[in-house]
Structure 1
Amino acid sequence: MKKKILVTGGAGFVGSHLCERLSQNSNYEVYSLDNYFTGSKDNHVPNVTYIKGNTSDISELIIFNPDMVYHLGEYSRVEQSFDDIEKVWEYNKNGIFAVLEFVRKSGCKILYAGSSTKFGDGGLGRSASPYAWTKASNTELVENYGAWFNIPYAITYFYNVYGSREIQTGKYATLIALFKEKMKNDETLTIVSPGTQKRNFTHIDDIIDGLVLVGENGYGDEFGIGSEEAFSILEVAQMYDGKIEMLPERRGNRMTAEVISDKTKALGWEPKRKLADYIEEGRKNDWKE
C-alpha cells in the first residue's frame, strides 16, 4: 500500500517543490490542499492530486486519512500582515486548529512549517507583526497537541527561501525574485531602511532536502533549515550591482535571526547552495530561471 501524503499549500512556492520531490517517491500518493491565495496552477506538477480550499475546511475537503501532513499552507508575509490581519487570522489561526483536529482524528504525523521570525532580534521578533505572532503561537499549539493527544509532530523553520517559482511581482513578491525581476527590467532596486537588516538566504533545494528528511525522521521542535551565511539587504543589492533606492522603515522588519539548525544537521542535512552562485547564474542567463 502506498502512503498518502498531504501537503497544505502545495501550489505555492515551497509547497510545489515539496510536492514535486515527494511525487518522485513511488511509495507515496501525494495530495495538495491549497486556496490559491498566493499559490498558482502554474506551479502544479505531475502525479499530484490537487484539491482547492481553505485549511479551515480540511475535514470536509479531505475524505481520506493521510499517513503524513506537511502543513505549509499559511499566510507568510511580515510587513503586509498588518493590512491583511483578517486573512492572517483565517489562514493561520482558524487553519491550524482545523488541521490539528484533522490530524488528531486521522492519527497521522504532522510537520508544521513554523517561521524563523520567532527567533528574530533575540526572541522579540515573535510579536513584531501579526504574521510573526500567529506563527510563533501556532508552534506552541502544535507542541501542546503533541502532549495532550500524543500526536507525532515535527516543527521546522525556514530562513529566507529563494529559487524558482518565487512570486516575482506585486504585494507578495519575495526579495530575491523581486531584485531579479527589477534587474531584468533595468529598474532600481528598492531597499527598506536601514538596509543593514541581515537575512540567511536559503536555496529552495536545500529547504526541500531538510523538509523531507525531517518529515521522515524528525520529531519535536527546533528543526531549523537555514544557511549559516548571512547578508544584509544592502549587501544583496550590491551583489546584483544595480541602482539602489532606500525606502522608509516599516513595522515588523526584524534586524537579525539566529539560525537553529543543530537538530536538522544531526539527521544528516547540510546546506549545499550559495546565494552568490545563484545570483551569478542569473546574471549569465539574463536573470531568467
Structure 2
Amino acid sequence: MIKKILVTGGAGFVGSHLCERLSRDESNEVYSLDNYFTGSKDNHVPNVTYIEGLTSDIDKLISFAPDIVYHLGEYSRVEQSFDDIDKVWKFNKDGIFAVLEFVRKHGCKILYAGSSTKFGDGGLGRSASPYAWTKASNTELVQNYGAWFNVPYAITYFYNVYGPREIQTGKYATLIALFKEKMKNKEKLTIVSPGTQKRNFTHIDDIINGLILVGKNGYGDEFGIGSPEAFSIKEIAEMFGAEIEMLPERKGNRMTADVMTAKTEALGWKPTRSIKEYIEEAKATNWR
C-alpha cells in the first residue's frame, strides 16, 4: 500500500534530509509544505511534491489525507526570537493550531518536533525566550489534542543538529556551519559569553534515523534524539583550532539541557556519529 506522508518544513535543514530518506522507499508518497522562511529550493530532492505556503493555511493547501504529518515547519532560533516575536507567533502558534485541526479532521498521526530548550537549566529554559515558550506550550497542546480528541501523536526533541545543508551565514546561521564558514574565511570564531554553556551536538543522520523510527512506532512524549556527549561552546571552538572572540551574553541562552533518549533507544535507535570526527573530516576537506 502507498503511504502518503506530509513533512512541514520539508525544504529546511532537517526536513529536506527527512524527505530525502522517506522518498527512497517506493511505498511512500512524500509531500513537503514550506513557506521558505529559512528553507530553500536548493534543498529540494527528487520524488517529493513541494507545496509552498504557511502551515496556518494547511487546510487550504493540502487536499489529501496523509497517513502521517511530520510537523517540523516552525520558527527555530532562540536568541533571534526576541526580535522576531511576530514571526514566532505566526509560524509556531497559528501554525500548530491549524496543523492539529488538520490531523484531527483526517484522523492521521502527527509527529511533532518539540524543542529541547524546555528541559534547559532544570526546566527554567521553557520560558527563557519567545521561541522556547511557544515550543514548550505547543507540546502541551499536542498532548491535549491526544487526550481531548484521540489524535495519535509522538513528540520528539532534537539536540543541536549539525551536518550538510545547515544555514551557514546570516542571522539564522547554525553554530557548526557558522564556525566552518568562518574557518574557510580565516576569521575568528565568535562565542557568546560565558562560553561554558554545554550542548549535545547530534549529526543529521542520527536525527533522521530517530525520526523514522518514532514516526513508525513511537506514541506519546519524550522521544529525545540527541548525542550523549556534551561539549561547551568554547570546547567546540577549540576543536576547530582558530582564534576565539568572546561576545557579550544574550538573553535566552541556556547553560545546560538534559538529554532524554531512553524511549527512542527502546525503539532501537542509537547515535552513530560524533562531532569530533565531523570537525576532523571538515578540516581534512578545507571546511567543505
| TM-score (normalised: structure 1) | 0.99
What secondary structure does 1:126 align onto?
helix
What residue number does 2:271 align with? Answer: 271
In structure 1, C-alpha distance between the alignment counterparts of 2:223 and 2:26, rounded to whole Å: 26
Matched, 1:192 2:226: no
In structure 1, C-alpha distance between the alignment counterparts of 2:113 and 2:133, rounded to whole Å: 14
- Structure 2 residue runs of 5 or longer lacking an equivalent are none
What residue number does 2:74 align with? Answer: 74
What secondary structure does 1:4 align onto?
strand
In structure 2, C-alpha distance between the alignment counterparts of 1:132 and 1:174, rounded to whole Å: 16
In structure 2, C-alpha distance between the alignment counterparts of 1:32 and 1:86, rounded to whole Å: 24
In structure 1, C-alpha distance between the alignment counterparts of 2:37 and 2:106, rounded to whole Å: 26
What residue number does 1:239 align with? Answer: 239
What residue number does 2:262 align with? Answer: 262
What residue number does 1:131 align with? Answer: 131
What secondary structure does 2:271 align onto?
coil
Superposition deviation, residue 145 in structure 1: 0.1
Superposition deviation, residue 258 in structure 1: 0.2
What secondary structure does 2:164 align onto?
coil
| TM-score (normalised: structure 2) | 1.00
Superposition deviation, residue 282 in structure 1: 0.3
What secondary structure does 2:118 align onto?
helix
In structure 2, C-alpha distance between the alignment counterparts of 1:55 and 1:144, rounded to whole Å: 20
Cα offsets for 1:147-197 (capped at 9, x unmatched): 000011000000000000000000000000000000000000000000000
Cα offsets for 1:107-163 (capped at 9, x unmatched): 000000000001000000000000000000000000000000001100000000000
What residue number does 1:17 align with? Answer: 17
What residue number does 1:164 align with? Answer: 164
What residue number does 1:54 align with? Answer: 54
What secondary structure does 2:182 align onto?
helix
In structure 2, C-alpha distance between the alignment counterparts of 1:144 and 1:183, rounded to whole Å: 46
What residue number does 1:105 align with? Answer: 105
* Identical amino acids, percent of aligned pairs: 82
What secondary structure does 1:259 align onto?
coil
In structure 2, C-alpha distance between the alignment counterparts of 1:123 and 1:236, rounded to whole Å: 24
Matched, 1:155 2:173: no
- Structure 1 residue runs of 5 or longer lacking an equivalent are none
* Structure 1 vs Structure 2 CA RMSD: 0.3
Aligned residues: 288
The aligned amino acid for 2:23 is S
